[in-house]
């Protein structure tokens, strides 16, 4: 199944918490699609880490860290799904 829409937008939605990855959700995707999603999640994470937030804005720092946490968790789910199904990602 091809990725519906822009893969980078999908990665941003994962970071924002609108999409939660789970093994049943990943089942229709091909290994190439999963690799594209994983690559775009890395791009979005890199952009988030590059943001400079003033130390006084505690809520903005918390939101940034939460987005990074969601991306890291989704990456782990994706990599474990690939490992379980013997896919090279």
pLDDT in tens, 32-72: 999 999 999 999 999 999 999 999 999 999 999 999 999 99
Question: Distance (Å, rounded) from C-alpha 60 to C-alpha 78?
Answer: 27
Question: Distance (Å, rounded) from C-alpha 8 to C-alpha 12?
Answer: 6
Q: What is the pLDDT of residues 76-85, one digit of tens each?
A: 999 999 999 9
pLDDT at position 65: 97
Taking the whole predicted model, whether its pTM rises above 0.75 is answered as yes
From 66, 16, 68, 20, select the one nearest 47 (Cα to Cα). Answer: 68
Q: Mean of the pLDDT values across residues 7-25? A: 95
Q: Mean of the pLDDT values across residues 4-18? A: 94
Question: Distance (Å, rounded) from C-alpha 29 to C-alpha 2?
Answer: 7
């Amino acid at each position: 199944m091809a990725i519906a829409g822009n893969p980078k937008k999908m990665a941003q939605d994962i970071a924002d918490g609108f999409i939660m990855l789970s093994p049943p959700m990943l089942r229709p995707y091909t290994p190439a699609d999963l690799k594209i999603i994983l690559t775009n999640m890395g791009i979005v994470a890199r952009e988030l880490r590059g943001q400079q937030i003033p130390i006084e804005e505690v809520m903005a720092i918390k939101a940034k860290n939460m987005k990074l946490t969601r991306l890291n968790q989704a990456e782990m789910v994706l990599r474990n799904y690939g490992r379980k199904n013997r896919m090279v990602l």
